A and B are shown apart, each in its own frame.
Chain A
Amino acid sequence: MTEERKSKKRLKTSKELNRLVTEYYLNCQTAKAEGRPVAWMPPMNGVIELCYAMDVQPVFPENWSPVCAAFGLTPQNFKVSEDMGYSRDICGYLRNIIGYVNGLMNEKDTPLGGLPEPDILFTPGGGCVPVMKIFHALERRFPKAAVFSADLPQVAIEDINDTHIDYAIAESERLINFVTETTGRRLDMDRLRETVVLSDQACALWDEIMSFRRYIPVPFSAAEMGIMFVMVTLQGTQKAVDYLTRVRDEVRQKAESGSGVIENEKLRLFWDNIPLWYNMGLFNYFEAAGGVVVAETYSAAWSIRMDPQNPIRSLALKSLKSYPLVSCVSINKRKEMVLNACREYAIDGVIFHRNKSCIPITLGQMEIKRALEEELNIPSVIIDADHMDERNFSMAQFQTRVDAFMEMLADRKGY
C-alpha cells in the first residue's frame, strides 16, 4: 500500500520553472528601468506576440494573481479591495489585483520585485466582465498610462466567420498603430513572423507534451500545471520554445520508460476549471486512492496553432478563440473538447471544480457533466471551491466528496 503511494511526480524541468518565473518578472522590472515600454494586458489573446515583436514588455495582471496566491499575499490583497467596497461575490482575480495595485504595490519588498507600473494598458472589451472591470480599475490607478480600448467579437468558436475575423484584424491593426504612436516603435513584419513561428512551435510542443499524458502510467499530473506559465507569459519567445523542448524531452523519456507519477496508477482523472492556486498540492490528494489527474480543460486552451504566412490573421484568430474555448461563450465546443479528451486520455472520472470566482467557466459545466454520463458513461463529481479565495474552500467537504467518488470509481473498475 505504501509503495503504491510513493510519488515520483516532480518533473526536473518543473523545478526549473521557478527560475523562469523569477527571470520573467525581473525582465519586466528591467524593461521599466531601461525605458522599454511596459504594457499590461489580459492573457489569452494575440497581443502578446505583437508586444514581443515590437519590444514592448507584456505584463499580465491575471497571471500575477497565482503568484500572489503562491506567496500567500492574497488575503492581504483581498482586504484592500474589499475595504474599497468590492464584493466577495466578484472574481478573485479582480479582487486580488485591485487590492495589490492599491496596496502592496506601493510597498517596497514585494516578492519577485513586484510589478512595474504600466506605460500602456490594453483594456479589453470582449472577454469576461471581470477582466474588463480589472482594466477599468487599472486605468483609475495608473492615470498616466496610455489606454487602448480593444474590442473583440464575443462569439462561439463554431460561429466565427469572416466578419468577426475582419473586425479582429482591424482591431489588431489599430492596436499596432497605437503602439507606434505611443512608443515610436514600428512593427517589423519579418520579426512578427518570427514571433509567430516561435509561438506556433511552442503550441506544437505543448500539444506534444500533452500527448504523452495518454501513456499509462501518466508521466506528469495536473500538479505540474505551473509549466503553463510559459504559455501565458512567454508565448512567441525562444525562451518558451527552449524550455518546452526540455519539458518535452523529459516527459517523453518518462512516458516511454514507463515512469509514472505514481507506481500503481489505477484511476485516471480529468479536471475542469481553474486550479486552486493557493493549494496546488491538492492534485496529489487523489494519489492515496491510486488516482492521477491526467488532463484538464484549462490547459488545452493555450495551444492555438498559427499560420506564419498570415501572422496578423493568425493572431486575430487566436484572440477570437482563446476565451470562448474555456468559457460559457462556447459551451458546445467545450463539451466536445472535454468528451474528446476523456476518450483520448482514457479517463475514468471527471472532477468539476465549481468555481465561485469564475462564472464564465462554471456556466456550462452541468451540460458537460450530463453529456459525459449520457454519451460516455463517465461519472463525475462536483467540488465547490474557488481558484483564488481560500475562504470559499472547505478541505473537509472536499475530502468527503472525493473519497466517496474515488471509492465508487474503484468499485466500477473492480479494484
Chain B
Amino acid sequence: MLENLIQPFEAAINQFKKRDQLEKVLPAIGYFCTYTPIEVIHAAGFTPIRITGDAGAVEKAYAHMPDFICPFMKRALEKALNGKYDFLSGVVQGYSCDAACGAVNIWRDAIGGGIYHTLPLPYNSNPEARAFYKSALNEVVEKLNALGGSFSESKLDSSLGLYTEIRNILLDFYERSFKGDLPLSTQQMLTLIEAGAVSSPEAYLDMLKALKTHLRNANAEKKQDIPVMISGSLVEDPTIIEMIESSGGRIVADDLCNGYRQLVPAAADGGSPVDRLINRYIQRMPCPARSRAEDRLAPLIELMQKSGAKAMILIIQKFCTPHLSDYPSLLKAFKEKGWPVLLLELDESWQPGGQIKTRLESFFEMVGA
C-alpha cells in the first residue's frame, strides 16, 4: 500500500525525466543550491527546477571542468551537455560554493541561451546586509521580468505561502520519523523531496496533502538496527542509503541539502513578503559553504538528540571543499559528545564500492558494541 502512496511522486519524477526530450513546456529556471530564493523565481511566473545529474559516465563535462570537481557539478553539466536541460530558460544560483559559482559561468559559455545569474548573498545579517540582499533580489526580478516574467509583491506573498505549506508538511513527516512513527523509509522521503524539486509547487502541494491524509493513521514498522544520522550535500543515488540500511544501520535523521536541511525553517517573520523571504534565508539551517562549522553544531546536535541517533555518517561528494573543511571540527565535537563519526566520500560513479560496505559493517559493529 505504501508503495502506492509514493507512486505519484515517482510518476512526477519520471514525467520530468521524459520531458527532457520535449521542447520548452513550461517556462522553467534551474538552480543548483537551495540558497536560491525559489519563491522569487516562482513569483515571477517560472517553475524553479533543481538541477541534478543523471547516472552514466561523465565524458563531455571534462572538456569544461577538471576531474577534481564534486560529482554533483560534473554530472549536472554532463546532463546539460546532453541537451537534457535545454528546456530551461536559464539558471539562477544563490551563491554557495566556488564550484557552483564557476559552474554557472561555464554553463553560460557551454550551454547558452536564457539567463545565467549568480545571486550574491550576504554572509552577515545587519541592516546594510539586508538592504544589499534586497537590491540583489531586485536584480534577479529584473532579469526574470526581462525574460517574460511578471513579478509582484502579492505574487511573492502567495509563493511564500505555498512553499511554507510544502515545507511544513515535509517537516511534519520528519517530526514523525524522529519519533519512529513515520511509515516511510529514508529513500522514500528523499523521493518525495526530489519530486518537489522538479514539479510545480501547486501540483506538488496537492500530492503532499493527499499523502498526509493517507499517512494519518498509518503506523511505522519498528526496527532494531542502529539509529544513525546522515549528513552531507546531496545524495543523488539510493545505493548508499540501501547499503547503510543493509549493513546494520537505520537512518533516523538527515542533514542533507536534498533532505531536511533545505526545509528549516519553513518560514520566517517580517513585514513585507521580501523581508520574510530574506529573514528565512538568513535564518536557514546552515550549509558549510556559508557558515562556520560551529554554527552548524547546535542544529546538528539537536537533530541527533531529537531522533535518538547514536552515530553520524558523513556522505560527502568527493572534492567538496565546504564539507571536507568542516569535517575535523565536526569530528571533534561529536567525539566529545560520545557519538562516533564515519566519513564516506562518493565519486561520480555514485556507487559505493565494496570497501565502503566493509567500513560500514565494522562501523556499526563498533557503535553497537
Q: Are A153 and B136 in contact (CB under 8 A)?
A: yes
- B63 in the interface (beta carbon within 8 A): yes
Give the contact stretch, choosing among B44-52, B115-123, B270-278, B349-357.
B115-123
Q: Are B106 and A151 in contact (CB under 8 A)?
A: no
Q: Are B68 and A356 in contact (CB under 8 A)?
A: yes
Highest count of chain B CB atoms <10 Å: which of A89, A129, A139? A129
Residues of B within 8 A of A136 (CB): 292-294, 325
B92-137 residues at the A interface, CB under 8 angstroms:
95, 97-99, 101-103, 105-106, 108-110, 118, 120, 122-124, 126, 128-129, 131-132, 135-136
Interface string of A225-254 (1 = CB under 8 A from B): 000000000000000000000000000000
**B254 to chain A: closest CB distance in Å?**
22
CA distance A86 to B118 in the complex (A): 29
CA distance A85 to B98 in the complex (A): 22
CA distance A101 to B306 in the complex (A): 37
Q: Are B106 and A331 in contact (CB under 8 A)?
A: yes
- B16 in the interface (beta carbon within 8 A): no
Q: Are B102 and A154 in contact (CB under 8 A)?
A: no
Q: Are B123 and A126 in contact (CB under 8 A)?
A: yes
Q: Spell out A's residues near B (CB within 8 Å).
A: 84-87, 89-91, 94, 125-126, 128-130, 133, 136, 139-140, 149, 151, 153-156, 161, 163-164, 166-167, 170-171, 174, 327-332, 354, 356, 359-360, 362-367
13 A-B contact pairs sorted by A residue (CB < 8 Å): A85-B328, A130-B321, A154-B101, A170-B128, A328-B98, A328-B106, A329-B101, A329-B102, A329-B105, A359-B99, A362-B68, A366-B63, A367-B110
Residues of A within 8 A of B331 (CB): 85
Q: Are B128 and A171 in contact (CB under 8 A)?
A: yes
Residues of B within 8 A of A87 (CB): 324, 327
Residue total for B at the interface (Cβ-Cβ under 8 A)? 46
CA distance A276 to B245 in the complex (A): 45
**B116 to chain A: closest CB distance in Å?**
10
CA distance A129 to B323 in the complex (A): 10
- Report if A366-B322 is in contact (Cβ < 8 Å); known contacts: A136-B292, A151-B122: no
CA distance A90 to B132 in the complex (A): 31
Q: Are B106 and A367 in contact (CB under 8 A)?
A: yes
A-B contact count (CB 8 A): 135
Q: Are A359 and B106 in contact (CB under 8 A)?
A: no
- B264 in the interface (beta carbon within 8 A): no
- Report if A364-B105 is in contact (Cβ < 8 Å); known contacts: A85-B331, A151-B123, A167-B132: yes
Residues of A within 8 A of B322 (CB): 129, 133
Q: Are A140 and B329 in contact (CB under 8 A)?
A: yes
- B319 in the interface (beta carbon within 8 A): yes
Q: Are A167 and B102 in contact (CB under 8 A)?
A: no
- B289 in the interface (beta carbon within 8 A): yes
Q: Are A155 and B118 in contact (CB under 8 A)?
A: yes
Q: Is the interface of A mostly helix, strand, loop or mixed?
A: helix
Interface string of B309-346 (1 = CB under 8 A from A): 00000000011011011111101000000000000000
CA distance A129 to B131 in the complex (A): 24
Q: Are B123 and A367 in contact (CB under 8 A)?
A: no
- Report if A364-B106 is in contact (Cβ < 8 Å); known contacts: A84-B328, A89-B318, A125-B124: yes
| Other-chain contact of A154, B65, B118, B129 (Cβ < 8 Å) | B118
Q: Are A89 and B292 in contact (CB under 8 A)?
A: no
Q: Apart from A84-B328, A167-B131, what are 9 other A-B pairs with CB-CB below 8 Å?
A: A90-B321, A129-B325, A151-B122, A153-B122, A153-B136, A328-B98, A328-B101, A329-B102, A360-B102
Q: Are A130 and B325 in contact (CB under 8 A)?
A: yes
Residues of A within 8 A of B98 (CB): 128-129, 327-328, 359-360, 363
Q: Are A89 and B319 in contact (CB under 8 A)?
A: yes
Residues of A within 8 A of B326 (CB): 133
Q: Are A363 and B128 in contact (CB under 8 A)?
A: no
Q: Are B65 and A153 in contact (CB under 8 A)?
A: no
Residues of B within 8 A of A133 (CB): 321-322, 325-326
| Other-chain contact of B69, A90, A174, A363 (Cβ < 8 Å) | A363
CA distance A171 to B122 in the complex (A): 11
Q: Are A91 and B106 in contact (CB under 8 A)?
A: no
- Which residue on B lies nearest to A328, using beta carbons? B102
**A89 to chain B: closest CB distance in Å?**
5
**A339 to chain B: closest CB distance in Å?**
14
Residues of A within 8 A of B318 (CB): 89
CA distance A84 to B330 in the complex (A): 11
CA distance A363 to B331 in the complex (A): 30
Residues of A within 8 A of B108 (CB): 331
Interface string of B34-73 (1 = CB under 8 A from A): 0000000000000000000000000000011110110000
Q: Are B129 and A151 in contact (CB under 8 A)?
A: yes
CA distance A362 to B123 in the complex (A): 25
Residues of B within 8 A of A89 (CB): 68, 318-319, 321, 324
| Other-chain contact of A85, B65, B101, B129, B327 (Cβ < 8 Å) | B327
| Other-chain contact of B124, A90, A139, A151, A328 (Cβ < 8 Å) | A151
Residues of B within 8 A of A170 (CB): 128, 132
CA distance A332 to B105 in the complex (A): 8
- Report if A91-B109 is in contact (Cβ < 8 Å); known contacts: A354-B66, A363-B102: no
CA distance A151 to B133 in the complex (A): 12
Q: Are A367 and B109 in contact (CB under 8 A)?
A: yes
Highest count of chain A CB atoms <10 Å: which of B99, B128, B294, B322? B128
| Other-chain contact of A153, B97, B105, B120, B325 (Cβ < 8 Å) | B120
Q: Are B66 and A331 in contact (CB under 8 A)?
A: no
**A130 to chain B: closest CB distance in Å?**
6
Q: Are A331 and B329 in contact (CB under 8 A)?
A: no
- Which residue on B lies nearest to A360, using beta carbons? B98
Q: Are A125 and B123 in contact (CB under 8 A)?
A: yes
- Report if A331-B102 is in contact (Cβ < 8 Å); known contacts: A154-B95, A363-B69, A367-B64: yes
Q: Are B319 and A163 in contact (CB under 8 A)?
A: no
Residues of B within 8 A of A129 (CB): 97-98, 289, 321-322, 325
CA distance A406 to B131 in the complex (A): 53
Residues of B within 8 A of A330 (CB): 105
Highest count of chain B CB atoms <10 Å: which of A91, A163, A171, A359? A359
CA distance A364 to B102 in the complex (A): 7
B158-183 residues at the A interface, CB under 8 angstroms:
none
Q: Are B101 and A164 in contact (CB under 8 A)?
A: no
Residues of A within 8 A of B327 (CB): 85-87
Residues of B within 8 A of A140 (CB): 329
CA distance A133 to B293 in the complex (A): 9
CA distance A161 to B136 in the complex (A): 10
- Which residue on A lies nearest to B293, using beta carbons? A136
Q: Are A154 and B120 in contact (CB under 8 A)?
A: yes
Residues of B within 8 A of A329 (CB): 101-102, 105, 118
